[in-house]
Amino acid sequence: MSLRSADLVDASNAQAVNNFREYLQIRSVHPEINYDGCVKFLEKQAKSLDLPIKIVTVVPGKPIVIMTWTGKNPNLPSIMLNSHMDVVPVYEDMWSQKPFGGEIVDGKVYGRGAQDMKCVGIWYLEAIRMLKSNKVTLECTLHVTFVPDEEIGGKDGMKVFVETEEFKKLNIGCALDEGMPSTNEEFALFYDERCMWHMNWTCPGISTHGSALVNDTAGEKVAYILGKIYEFRRNEQNKLKYLKGTMGDVTAINLNVIHGGVQTNVTPAEIKFGLDCRVTPKEDFKTFEKMIESWRSEAGSGVTIDFVEKWLPVPATKLNDENPYWMAFKKATEALNLKLVPQICPGRTDGVFLRAKGIPVLGFSAINNTELLLHQHDEHLGVETFLKGIQIYCKIIEAMANV
Ligand SMILES: [Zn+2]
């Protein structure tokens, strides 16, 4: 019996969807992930693609998986196709489908990681499968990397990996990493990201009877600082509203943790609070730091700030003809009639560690016309969007690898 070409297309689509579903069924969920399931799954994928696979261990229990498709000219800088294997926890009872079932309901594949970002990892592999089956050969080498722990900051993942000899040997010229779904026709493209500042503030105060009207209370200091924070926040919200930019063009600041006090009739000796601040690289960092320091010193005596994270900007990826990989990416997406919206990523991704090493990174997930469900209940991806994604990555990868 011979298969018609339509059957072949259907068969390869079914295999791709099944691989996606199988990957979603692996519980690589925080906290305390055992990555063995992912490694086993990827070893099986590498075998089916006839690609060599290497597991690099920098931190025990946190494997970095690298599949390599050697190009015709392996001396050229390579392309890294990066994705993270880990996913964030779920509130299982809030899901309408099993979060690790990989089930298809109404044409959508459900599962934690369906958008962030197991879909992208599978897209790289399925695009390679398609290119290989079409007998396409590439000029430069591809390294498909699957890294751990991105969702908890990448400290034991990409951050340490970029410092190794193994990483240097990959000789990466450009990397693809995650983007963000878009709810309309357009596609988001990240060329830079906001800098994470996590601060723990401590406001000491006079501890006395709760009925007293003394000065120098912790509450007054907190009130002063919060007044400044919310004024700054309103300004940033207005900027976003009137400047018609994207989230990455402004700075976000949020009060997310607060502790203090022992009992209602005792003024607290101390109130502590934690801020998550995402500073746009468009900010003047010296001025911004001075502003934070002025809030601290004006709030009252003894106020301290402990910076848990204080990132400074790294070189943004150039989106001009100085970056041939971008030009190839752009041309490929134009040929597919995709409308890209280049922007600064509002969050943090592993791309930052690569950009810090001077490697251009394009943050892209081939998801448009889709509800944004990153880290949310009922995360899912339409089967049609998934299948279209394979075609998109085929074109992009082929163009970038023939720069
Ligand atoms: Zn992600």
Q: Is 376 part of a structural domain of the chain?
A: yes
Task: Name the one residue in this structure whose structure tokens are 């944004």.
Answer: 372
User: What's the confidence (pLDDT) of residue 10?
Assistant: 80
- Annotated catalytic residue 249: no
Cβ within 8 Å of residue 403, ≥6 positions away: 139, 140, 173, 324, 325, 327, 328
Q: Go through 212-231 and write b for each residue having 16 or more CB atoms within 10 A of its CB, e for each that does not.
A: eeeeebbeebbebbbebbee
* Claim to verify: residue 200 and residue 171 sit in the same structural domain: no
Task: Name the one residue in this structure whose structure tokens are 């396409």.
Answer: 136
pLDDT at 6 over 70: no
User: What's the confidence (pLDDT) of residue 7?
Assistant: 52
Backbone dihedral angles phi then psi of residue 120, each to the nearest 5 degrees: -65, -40
Centroid of ligand 1 to alpha carbon of 185 (angstroms): 21
**Bridge partner list, 198:** 276, 309
Domain boundary among 279, 310, 341: 310
Centroid of ligand 1 to alpha carbon of 125 (angstroms): 17
CA 157 to chain centre: 13
pLDDT digits (tens, 9 = 90+) for 21-72: 999 999 999 999 999 999 999 999 999 999 999 999 999 999 999 999 999 9
pLDDT at 74 over 90: yes
* Claim to verify: residue 36 and residue 128 sit in the same structural domain: yes
- Annotated catalytic residue 379: no
pLDDT digits (tens, 9 = 90+) for 281-331: 999 999 999 999 999 999 999 999 999 999 999 999 999 999 999 999 999
Q: Is 45 part of a structural domain of the chain?
A: yes
| Percentage above 90 pLDDT, the chain | 96
Q: Is 185 part of a structural domain of the chain?
A: no
* Claim to verify: residue 163 and residue 260 sit in the same structural domain: no
pLDDT at 91 over 50: yes
Centroid of ligand 1 to alpha carbon of 113 (angstroms): 8
What gap in Å lies between CA 274 and CA 110, rounded to an integer? 34
pLDDT digits (tens, 9 = 90+) for 253-262: 999 999 999 9
pLDDT digits (tens, 9 = 90+) for 193-241: 999 999 999 999 999 999 999 999 999 999 999 999 999 999 999 999 9
Q: Domain tally for the chain?
A: 2
| Domain region containing 304 | 195-310
* Claim to verify: residue 217 and residue 166 sit in the same structural domain: no
Residues whose CB is under 5 A from ligand 1 (ion)?
A: 116-117, 178
Centroid of ligand 1 to alpha carbon of 218 (angstroms): 38
* Cβ atoms of residues 198 and 277 within 8 Å: yes
Select which of 10, 32, 50, 86 is catalytic.
86
Cβ within 8 Å of residue 223, ≥6 positions away: none
Binding residue ranges for Zn(2+): 84, 116, 151, 178, 375
pLDDT digits (tens, 9 = 90+) for 268-288: 999 999 999 999 999 999 999
Select which of 126, 150, 177, 249 is catalytic.
150
CATH number, domain containing residue 353: 3.40.630.10
* Cβ atoms of residues 372 and 181 within 8 Å: yes
Cβ atoms within 10 Å, residue 383: 17
pLDDT at 399 over 50: yes
* Cβ atoms of residues 202 and 304 within 8 Å: yes
User: What's the confidence (pLDDT) of residue 58?
Assistant: 97
* Claim to verify: residue 157 and residue 202 sit in the same structural domain: no
